[in-house]
Structure 1
Amino acid sequence: MLETAITLMQEGQSPSVSDVAEAAGVSRATSYRYFPNQADLVNAVVDAALGPILDWLPRSPHVEERVADLMEVSLRRIGEFEATFRAALKLSLDQWAKTRAGTLGLEAPLSRGHRIELLRNAVAPLHGAVGEQDLDRLAKGLSLVFGIEAFVVLKDIWKMEQDEVERTIIWVAQALLSSVSGVERGGAKTGR
């Protein structure tokens, strides 16, 4: 069922649990045992699509290398599963609108936020080298270019191809890193 859901989402659909059951040739009762609601289904598909991103661990003590490595692993994977991540974003936006309108009801919310832990881990070498407020702002700033949202802006609005999207995101990440006061190559304090 998970593979079927991934296939449907890679085709640009936001399938319901019933849609996946029908496409997979299993009963609706069986599908609802595994995925009680659409949010659970989408969360499982997104986690499967994230794959190596969720497993990322830093190999370097230097913040620039850690961020570059995380971006390299992530950008390729996000590009590969772009339609899946766009479908998840669509569901998240739909739920936001329903919440604002008071019509979400008992629908389970889509869980998001993997990037917070990943980015905090990537910038961890800066603990003590910069203030906690700057460190927090850096992680939040990096989150603006770490995910499907940056792909939507750069591809849909700027009409960029995948390689240019990747180069632009990496450039922005490097610019954010270099903007943190007191940081030089390797995350050491410069004393500025």
Structure 2
Amino acid sequence: MAVSVTKTRGNQKQRTRKDLLQAASRLMKQGHKPSLEEIAGEALVSRATAYRHFPSVDALLLEASLDVDTPDAGTLFSARGSDDPVARLLRVDAALNDMILANEAPLRMMLAHSLERVAKGEPEDEMPLRQNRRTPLIEAALAPARDRLKPASFDTLTQALALVIGTEAMIVCKDVLQLDKARARKVRRWAIRALVDAARRAGMDEADN
């Protein structure tokens, strides 16, 4: 029961955070910089709730701007193309990586702020959740293969892929491994293929048993 309640609260926080980001995007499209109060009102939440998710209006607007730049699954896979999950995942990786490199500084700032709050020991249930942009794209890429994987295997593959696609992967490749863009891209693509192959082999092993 406790796990279910915690998950429900987490989902609600994600929805509230998404509502705030979408509200900010709508208001920015009107041609002015909205206040936190205006954004909270547009999202139908209190000012205090907005502050629990974002430390300032600038932080909220920054992330809302990144949301606009994030590739959309419908756009990525709208044209008739390959149903091969690897090919689709490579498309997601390329699109997200382009967005990340174009917004590297603000993304690093967002990550630094998140780490700072952890370092300060703020209670986990009071910390704003980061917006999970990569998982919906990964799930959309894997959609044609979903029926060929058990639900648990699909979830594990999705979670494993989230480790090699996204901002943190860029930071590891660039800062830790000191790879150039071409080598980093090659390593990510290798990891994506390896993870999908591992999931496929696991599925075949289960079928044999």
> For the superposition of Structure 1 and Structure 2, which TM-score range results when normalised by the shorter chain?
0.5 to 0.7
C-alpha distance in structure 2 between counterparts of 1:182 and 1:125, whole Å: 17
Unaligned residue ranges in structure 2 (runs of 5+): 1-31, 40-49
Report what 1:91 is aligned to.
113
Alpha-carbon distance in structure 2 between the residues aligned to 1:111 and 1:126: 28
- Matched to 1:95, the amino acid is R
Structure 2 counterpart of 1:42: 62
Partner of 1:62: 84
Q: In the alignment, does 2:150 pair up with 1:136? A: no
The separation in 1 between residues aligned to 2:72 and 2:98, in whole angstroms, is: 10
Task: Note the C-alpha offset of 1:40.
Answer: 2.1
CA-based RMSD of the aligned residues comes to 3.1
Q: Deviation per CA, 1:99-131, whole angstroms, max 9, x where unpaired?
A: x344997xx725411112111111122222121
Question: CA separation in 2, counterparts of 1:55 and 1:93?
Answer: 32
Aligned-partner SS, 1:127: helix
Number of matched residues?
157
CA distance in 1, matches of 2:189, 2:107: 19
Q: 1:90 to 1:34 in 2, by over 3 A?
A: farther
TM (normalized to structure 1)? Answer: 0.67
Gaps of 5+ in 1: 1-25
1:52-80 CA distance string (max 9 Å, x none) = 35664424322122111111211222122
Amino acid at match of 2:83: P
1:83 CA displacement: 1.5
- 1:60 aligned counterpart, secondary structure: coil
Q: TM-score, normalised by structure 2?
A: 0.62
What's 1:7 paired with?
A: none
Kindly state the Cα deviation for residue 135 of structure 1 after the two structures are TM-superposed. 0.9
CA drift of 1:189 comes to: 6.9
Percent identity, aligned pairs only, is: 25
Structure 1 residue 141, shift from structure 2 partner: 0.5
Match of 1:77 in 2: 99
The runs of at least 4 aligned residues of structure 1 exceeding 3 Å deviation read: 30-37, 53-57, 101-105, 188-192
User: In the aligned structure 2, how far is the partner of 1:103 from the partner of 1:73?
Assistant: 31
Alpha-carbon separation, structure 2, partners of 1:74 and 1:149: 12
Query: What residue in structure 2 maps to residue 22 of structure 1?
Result: none
